[in-house]
């Protein structure tokens, strides 16, 4: 085993939040260490390695806790900055010790890298009343999170990942100015520690393409028309970086992987030609990721004069290899993203080395730099902190810290210094994964293979099913319901924790949860809600709860990944064929139904959402894994029906999240995703009402796929996205199933007045028939307090009764 590796695995870098725990001598790195970093593109390149970016949260979520403590007023800005500095220096040292040449800086962020760019450009919306000068935490965090008097900027998904960025709001009157020196400060900070880094900036064209016109600005406003206003700030930043001693600079331009038109591609030509004289003397890398670069964009990119090197994602962008084979500009460097930044599996080192050697034959061996496919931000931090995973599964994995070692080992092997022991232990782990009986389940494989022949539709069409269901359910017009979860109190979370830690007996736990369900049922009956939920007190998370009861899933103790700001998620790992050993929710749902005469919804998470919110096995196509999960959920749906549950909700919150970045690939994904949903409920009787729920997404472009899911009722987040959803129906899309567009935003503590909700319902009735309309909140109520939920739901029911009276009096 390679010495660096064994060191990495046995001596995790130790953090203490109060003090910088790098031992003293690293502040004065030996000269050879410094010299190795300061060589430019012209130097001899025995083996070079690069990391696109690295997770910021820390191996034990140190940054999360420091941020939340600062926001709560418990710690000072200086204490937060100290934690951040400790994390950054630890990361730089870790990469330097592993032998990485091109170490990134400015990929750290207190919230989000696009927001950092907005701060760098001084593009602060007027409502934050920023007075100029260097942007501090107050303005920065107000943009990210809002404050007592103004709302936050919009947040949206970063390409097709589960990370979210803060969307810049731009218009013709924005006055750009160099207002955050973070990129230069962090470069200097690393240099003082003896590490000459590659400063990373979000590229100017991607920044504009990821922005939106500010409120009051014409929707048709061309964001790219601002390029001449932002380039002067970029020039100032580059000039300062050069003066500070930078020899490389990395511009992230991930929008190059999307479908761009000629005008958008031209903006890249223009921007980098404008920057050329400022960049002279620097090695310039343009980094792309998340998909292959289309042929036209490849042509544009590789003809940029100011650029020394191009970074490509060769994990999700395998077609880029063909473009490189057809031609690569001579004398330029290829940063080959061969180690997956978005999943947790160990790299297939032999296969990667073959690819790298092939690339070396095309562009010249000394022109290939081994890199990650994208920033490691999207993967877990360090396998060393894993206590829950067993050794076998652990041997199949690599988190960010291990991926650094893989990159270095590949770079050394490419230059003829192959570490045979490391490569053979990797081959051994891959072989064990391939042959492990835990991975393959013949029965599941067979069942999934037979699915291909049918499209799994329910026999009767939705309008006649709704009529049959109404006879049985006998619901009033405009039925009311909630989305699933009720507030989770500190007490409830404590009891779940204690049960998990075996501090209380199963009997005590069950009694506590039953009592909780009983309260939730009582509250809903008192409020006079029509279709009830049990409140999900037994569930920690809508994916983890199911994954823990399905075979083929593993769970980490510390495999956290940043979702936005300080919020992290811990995705399950799907390593093998998925099946359901026994019923998962039937006990709780039937317990809840026994407490009331009103219909009680069974609550399940759908297969596509479970897939999109997990780390998915990479040894078979994603859709095959999805079909397996669908079959497991189908078993559960049918068991709920047998237990007398007549309304079953199968949430597909993340259906749209898996949408590919290219138009041409959308149909294939939507086809299998929607098919997976239909598989779950194709076997139920007409009298069983199937609901689904979707949140925060722009559905207008996939409304036909949503209709094709063929659910009886769909509840959709609506109030927070300015009722964009209703515009679809205004444009004449015919929708025959039940639909419940959310009438109040549960992500805010605000209690909407009755009139406001009534007003929303009226707007809906203008475009939707009263016999298919449902009334419900936007999303689950788990994060709210009862003091907010009770009055809000009271107003919701009052509003519905008001409208019902108006409807009956006008008939």
Residues of each annotated binding site for Zn(2+): 693, 695, 704, 708, 717, 779
> What are the Cα distances from residue 251, in Å, to 199, 234, 274?
9, 11, 15
Look up residue 683 and give its two tokens: 């076997």
Contact between 518 and 553 under an 8 Å Cβ cutoff? The reply is: no
Transcribe 304-352 into DSSP letters.
-TT-SEEEEESSS-TTHHHHHHH---TT-EEEEEEE-SS--BPP-HHHH
Rounded CA separation 680/648 (Å): 11
Distance (Å, rounded) from C-alpha 359 to C-alpha 121? 38
Q: In DSSP terms, which residues pair with 2 in a beta bridge? A: none
Round to whole Å and give the CA distance between 810 and 171: 46
DSSP conformation class of 605? E
Dihedral sign for Cα atoms in the order 641, 646, 649, 650 = positive
Strand positions, DSSP E, 600-751? 601-605, 615-616, 647-651, 689-694, 713-716, 738-741
- CB within 8 Å of 424: residues ≥ 6 apart: none
Cα–Cα dist 442/549, whole Å: 19
> Which of these, 649, 579, 563, lies nearest to 612 by C-alpha position?
563
Residue 224 to residue 234: CA distance in whole angstroms: 15
Binding-site members are 64, 162, 483-485, 536, 567-568, 613, 651, 693, 695, 704, 708, 717, 779
Helix (H, G, I), strand (E, B) or coil at 700: helix
Element (H, E) at 552: strand 551-554
CA distance 406 to 429: 14
Catalytic option among 25, 378, 691, 747: 747
Collect all residues with Cβ–Cβ distance below 8 Å to 395 and sequence separation of at least 6: 346, 429, 432, 433
Other beta carbons less than 10 A from residue 613's beta carbon: 22
CA dist., res. 243 & res. 187, Å (int): 11
28 classed as catalytic = no
Specify the residue for token string 């196509």.
621
At residue 415, the 3 state secondary structure works out as coil
Neighbours of 139 (CB within 10 A): 20
**Phi, psi of 579, deg, nearest 5:** -150, 165
Selection from 602, 624, 623, 605 nearest residue 613 by Cα: 605
Give percent helix, percent strand, percent coil of the chain, each to the nearest 5: 45, 15, 40
Q: Residues forming the annotated binding site for L-homocysteine?
A: 483-485, 651
* CA–CA distance, 279 with 274 (Å, rounded to integer): 10
Give the annotated binding-site residues for L-methionine.
483-485, 536, 651
- Give the residue numbers marked as catalytic: 747
């Amino acid at each position: 085993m390679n010495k660096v590796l064994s060191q990495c695995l046995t001596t995790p870098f130790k953090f203490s939040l109060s003090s910088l725990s790098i031992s003293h001598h690293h502040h004065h790195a030996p000269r050879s260490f410094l010299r190795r970093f300061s060589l430019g593109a012209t130097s001899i390149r025995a083996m070079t390695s690069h990391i696109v970016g690295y997770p910021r949260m820390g191996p034990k979520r140190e940054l999360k806790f420091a941020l939340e403590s600062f926001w709560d007023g418990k710690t000072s800005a200086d204490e937060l900055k100290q934690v951040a500095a400790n994390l950054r220096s630890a990361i730089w040292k870790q990469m330097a010790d592993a032998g990485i040449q091109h170490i990134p800086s400015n990929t750290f962020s207190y919230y989000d890298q696009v927001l950092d760019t907005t701060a760098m450009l001084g593009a602060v919306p007027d409502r934050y009343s920023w007075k100029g000068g260097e942007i501090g935490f107050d303005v920065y965090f107000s943009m990210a999170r809002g404050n007592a008097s103004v709302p936050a900027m919009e947040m949206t998904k970063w390409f097709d990942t589960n990370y979210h960025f803060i969307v810049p709001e731009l218009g013709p009157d924005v006055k750009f100015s160099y207002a955050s020196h973070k990129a230069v400060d962090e470069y200097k900070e690393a240099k003082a520690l003896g590490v000459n880094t590659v400063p990373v900036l979000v590229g100017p064209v991607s920044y504009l393409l990821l922005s939106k016109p500010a409120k009051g600005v014409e929707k048709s406003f061309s964001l790219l028309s601002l390029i001449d206003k932002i380039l002067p700030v970029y020039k100032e930043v580059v000039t300062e970086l050069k003066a500070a001693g930078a020899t490389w600079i990395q511009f992230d331009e991930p929008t190059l992987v999307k479908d761009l038109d000629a005008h958008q591609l031209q903006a890249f030509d223009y921007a980098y030609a404008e920057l050329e004289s400022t960049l002279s003397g620097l090695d310039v890398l343009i980094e792309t990721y998340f998909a292959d670069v289309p042929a036209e964009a490849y042509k544009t990119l590789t003809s940029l004069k100011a650029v020394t090197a191009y970074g490509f994602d060769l994990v999700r962008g395998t077609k880029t290899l063909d473009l490189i084979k057809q031609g690569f500009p001579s004398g330029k460097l290829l940063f080959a993203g061969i180690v997956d930044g978005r999943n947790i599996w160990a790299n297939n080192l032999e296969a990667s080395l073959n690819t790298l050697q092939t690339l070396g034959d095309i562009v010249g061996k000394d022109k290939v730099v081994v890199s990650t496919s994208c920033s490691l931000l999207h993967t877990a931090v360090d396998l060393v902190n894993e206590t829950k995973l067993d050794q076998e599964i652990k041997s199949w994995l690599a988190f960010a810290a291990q991926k650094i070692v893989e990159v270095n080992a590949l770079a050394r092997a490419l230059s003829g210094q192959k570490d045979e022991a490391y490569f053979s232990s990797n081959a051994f782990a891959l072989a064990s994964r391939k042959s492990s009986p835990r991975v393959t389940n013949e029965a599941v494989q067979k069942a999934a293979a037979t699915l291909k022949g049918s499209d799994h539709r329910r026999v009767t069409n939705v309008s006649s099913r709704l009529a049959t269901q109404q006879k049985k359910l006998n619901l009033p017009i405009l039925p009311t319901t909630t989305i699933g979860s009720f507030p989770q109190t500190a007490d409830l979370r404590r009891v779940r924790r204690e049960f998990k830690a075996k501090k209380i007996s199963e009997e005590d736990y069950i009694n506590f949860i039953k009592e909780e369900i009983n309260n939730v049922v009582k509250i809903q009956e008192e409020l006079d809600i029509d279709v009830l939920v049990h409140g999900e007190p037994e569930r920690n998370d809508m994916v983890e709860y199911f994954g823990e009861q399905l075979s083929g899933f593993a769970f980490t103790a510390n495999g956290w990944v940043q979702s936005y700001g300080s919020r992290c998620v811990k995705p399950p790992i799907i390593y093998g064929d998925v099946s359901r050993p026994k019923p998962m929710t039937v006990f709780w749902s039937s317990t809840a139904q026994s407490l009331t005469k009103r219909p009680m919804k069974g609550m399940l998470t759908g297969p596509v959402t479970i897939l999109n919110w997990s780390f998915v096995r990479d040894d078979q196509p994603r859709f095959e894994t999805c079909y397996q999960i669908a079959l497991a959920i189908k078993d559960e749906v049918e068991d709920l029906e047998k237990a007398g549950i007549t309304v079953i909700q199968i949430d597909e919150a993340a259906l749209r999240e898996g949408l590919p970045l290219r138009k041409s690939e959308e149909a294939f994904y939507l086809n299998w995703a929607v098919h997976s949903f239909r598989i779950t409920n194709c076997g139920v009787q007409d009298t069983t009402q199937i609901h689904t729920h979707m949140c925060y997404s722009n559905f207008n472009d996939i409304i036909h796929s949503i209709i094709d899911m063929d659910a009886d009722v769909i509840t959709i987040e609506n109030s927070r996205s300015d009722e964009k959803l209703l515009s679809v129906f205004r444009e004449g899309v015919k929708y025959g199933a039940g639909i419940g567009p959310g009438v109040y935003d549960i992500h805010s503590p605000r209690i909407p007045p009755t009139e406001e909700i009534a007003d929303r319902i009226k707007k809906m009735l203008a475009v939707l028939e009263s016999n298919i309309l449902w009334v419900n909140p936007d999303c689950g109520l788990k994060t709210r307090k009862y003091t907010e939920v009770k009055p809000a739901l009271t107003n919701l029911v009052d509003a519905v009764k008001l409208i019902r009276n108006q409807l009956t009096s006008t008939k």
